[in-house]
Amino acid sequence: MSLRAPPSSTSSSCSLFPLCPGLHSASRARLPLSVAFPTRIVRCSLLQDQVSVNGGAGSRVSDRNELRLGLPSKGRMADDTLDLLKDCQLSVRKVNPRQYVADIPQLSNLEVWFQRPKDIVRKLLSGDLDLGIVGLDIVSEYGQGSEDLILVHDSLNFGDCHLSIAIPKYGIFENINSMDELARMPQWTAEKPLRVATGFTYLGPKFMREKGLKHVVFSTADGALEAAPAMGIADAILDLVSSGTTLRENNLKEIEGGVVLESQTVLVASKKSLVHRKGLLDTTHEIIERLEAHLRAVGQFTVVANMRGNSPDEVAERVLSQPSLAGLQGPTVSPVFCKRDGEVVVDYYAIVICVPKKELYKSVQQLRAIGGSGVLVSPLTYIFDEETPRWQELLGKLGL
């Protein structure tokens, strides 16, 4: 990622400047940021975000025949991504664990490339990847609103977190509990701006400008941000938060209005690739179908029970009288045939419904209450709709 100088105007702007040991801290004595973090500083007055995207202007559809999917190369997100694809019958085959390229046998002509999450976004913009699975926070930070990035699936059900401002619980921040109160603090001036340590130098200035903070300095750093305020090298941090435990253990707190972005893992694509690369749209359709079928089935159970009755209609009426037995579209009622005295008769009907895990025991109790017996329960693996809504949404985004 590079920073370009803003066009001249009457508004203030964002720029880089050298580290300076003479600036203030929460204790009124600034330490050189390089003591703790090898970093650079982004100084913002009115916080014009002037960050350009690598490959953004010159993004292209490169001359290659194979399709490319970028996956995280390491960490929990990498493991969770591989597990999700496996659950969708899209297991990634990696011949050598040290290689950065693999394939998915079920998807012909698709290469899997293991990359750092931020590089996945950059290579989508440059045309070197066609699809990618990363966190929404990474897409937002490194994609920077590029119209060439399309969210194909915005909820893959893992990697949940949020990007948030956190400040110390003590000192001058003890009674500060909202962004409005933070912005009104008289301490922040052009000479002594609020110092925020973060790895999000695009989203941070953009957010602060929207919140009306005029005097802010962003120091870029990776890892151990929670220590920055205690060390006197930042007044606040902007970082990803999952449970909030690490913040609390370091005497930091989130404040009202300080959440920049709610994030989880998403499937993102290059719009140019989807439109122009042969076969990509069909492959994307299959991936969406498999993801949706699996994710919709997570936490759902098939419940089968036998029930005495005079007719399917009478049995269905009894089942539908119970609020948790409606299933996805209603119960399936089928006759159960048995032979008695040489004749085939129907004394029971089989009831098949789909219920969520949290309603499972309640549903079994209700089935018993209306005469159900021999209740069988099994987890659902996939639920395929007539057509996946997200596929229709994607076609709409592409104007197809």
Give the whole-angstrom CA distance, residue 155 versus residue 170: 37
Per-residue pLDDT reduced to its tens digit, 174-200? 999 999 999 999 999 999 999 999 999
pLDDT for the residue numbered 97? 80
pLDDT of residue 218: 95
pLDDT at position 4 over 50 = no
CB-based contact 250:172 (threshold 8 Å) = no
| Predicted local confidence at residue 12, as pLDDT | 37
Q: What are the distances in angstroms from CA 373 to CA 48, 95, 265, 308, 398? A: 67, 50, 42, 9, 51
Least confident of 25-29, 57-61, 113-117, 334-338: 25-29
pTM for this entry: 0.81
Stretch 377-383: mean pLDDT: 94
pLDDT confidence tier of residue 34, bands split at 50, 70 and 90: very low
Quote the CA–CA distance of 345 and 348 in Å, as a whole number.
9
The model's pLDDT over 243-300, given as tens digits with 9 standing for 90+, comes to 999 999 999 999 999 999 999 999 999 999 999 999 999 999 999 999 999 999 999 9
Query: Do the Cβ atoms of 113 and 121 come closer than 8 Å?
Result: no
pLDDT in tens, 144-165: 999 999 999 999 999 999 999 9
Q: Which helix (H) or strand (E) holds 126?
A: helix 117-126
Report the DSSP pairing between strands 161-168 and 252-263.
Answer: antiparallel
Q: Which long-range contacts (CB under 8 A, 24 or more apart) does 360-369 make?
A: 360/301, 360/303, 362/324, 363/303, 363/322, 363/324, 363/325, 364/303, 366/322, 366/324, 366/325, 367/303, 367/305, 367/307, 367/319, 367/322, 367/325, 369/322
**pLDDT at position 223:** 73
What pLDDT shows up at residue 343? 86
pLDDT of 63 reads 78
Model confidence at 61, pLDDT cuts 50, 70, 90, reads low
In angstroms, the CA 47 to CA 205 distance is: 5
Produce one character per residue of 281-294: b if its CB has 16 or more CB atoms within 10 Å, e if not. Answer: bebbeebbbbbbbb
**The pLDDT of residue 342:** 85
- Checking if the pLDDT of 41 tops 80, the result is no
Is the pLDDT at 50 greater than 50? The verdict is: no
Strands (E), 154-215: 161-168, 194-198
Amino acid letter, 367: L
Q: What is the mean pLDDT of residues 371-397?
A: 93
Average pLDDT rounded to a whole number, residues 316-342:
88
pLDDT value of residue 322: 87
